[in-house]
Amino acid sequence: MSLPKRILKETERLRNEKDTGIKATIHGDNLRYFDVEINGPEGSPYEGGVFELELFLPEDYPMSPPKVRFLTKIYHPNIDRLGRICLDILKNNWSPALQIRTVLLSIQALLGAPNPDDPLANDVAQKWKEDENAAKATARQWTKEYAKKVSDQKEEA
């Protein structure tokens, strides 16, 4: 099946319009599969981290939402150990008018504003509610440990 015009357009736009802190590149020769990098938003415990995600456009995209998953380990009440994300627009609030770009921006916003009242990772959410500072410290530490920029690692090496 040929690729819908919509996906081609979006891919092109992603290549040309660079948003700060968001990068999506086609993975190999599968034009529906993207490697994504999101920078932790400023002022959040994830600041300075670069998080890798995978994004897949299902057959009936844009009628169905894209499937997105964190590959980098992250300490966040709405993201579980497998990297699955609890975000309304990826589920029942999906609108075909949304795009890859807007989805990624929403995920970035979720990093800046965790919602422990609608948790996916229960233990993390619990911690977040009991002792927010400690939870944020853990998040910061995980960011340092797992979400380092590749370039940083090279520098260290």
Partner 1 sequence: MMSDEEYFSDGSDGTFQDDSMRFDDVEEEDQYLEDTRFDKPVKKAYEVDFKVHSDQQIRSGQQAQFEEISNILGLDIGQAALLLRHFKWQKEKLIEQYMDNPDSINKAVGIRPEAHEDTKITKVKDFVCDICCDDGDSMETFALPCGHRYCVECYRHYLTQKIKEEGESARIQCMGDKCTMAFDASDVQAVVDDDTFTRYKTLLDRTYVDDRESLRWCPAPNCIYAIECGVRQKQLNQVVPTVLCDCGYQFCFGCGLADHLPCPCSLVKKWLKKCEDDSETANWISAHTKECPICVSTIEKNGGCNHMTCRKCRHEFCWVCMGPWSEHGTSWYNCNRFEEKSGIDARDTQAKSRASLERYLHYYNRYANHEQSAKLDKELYTKTEKKMTQLQSTSGMSWIEVQYLDNASKVLQQCRQTLKWTYAFAFYLEKNNLTHIFEDNQKDLEMAVEQLSELFEKPVDQLANLKVEMMDKTAYVSSRRIMLLEDTAKGLAEDRWKFNVELV
Q: Which positions touch partner 1 (CB under 8 A)?
A: 4-6, 8-9, 60, 62-64, 89, 93, 95-98, 102
**For partner 1, the closer CB: 4 or 21:** 4
We find the least distance from the C-beta atom of residue 14 to partner 1, in angstroms, to be: 13
Of 74 and 110, which has the nearer Cβ to partner 1?
110
> Counting Cβ atoms within 10 Å, is residue 5 exposed (0-12), middle (13-18) or buried (19+)?
exposed
- Please confirm, yes or no, whether 86 is among the known catalytic residues: yes
Beta carbon of residue 89, minimum distance to partner 1 (angstroms, whole number) = 8
What span, in angstroms and rounded, lies between the C-alpha atoms of 99 and 138? 32
CA distances from 154 to 13, 22, 23, 52, 54 (A): 30, 21, 20, 17, 23
Our CB check for partner 1 shows the closer of 95 and 153 to be 95
Shortest spacing between CB 6 and partner 1, in angstroms: 5
Query: C-beta of 8: minimal distance to partner 1 in Å?
Result: 8
**Which of left, alpha, beta for 83 (phi over 0: left; psi -120 to 50: alpha)?**
left
C-beta closer to partner 1: residue 9 or 81 = 9
C-beta atoms surrounding 125 within 10 Å:
21
Q: What angle do CA 95, 97, 98 make, to 5 degrees?
A: 75
Catalytic residue among 86, 103, 111, 124: 86
DSSP-derived letter for residue 70 is E
Active site residues: 86
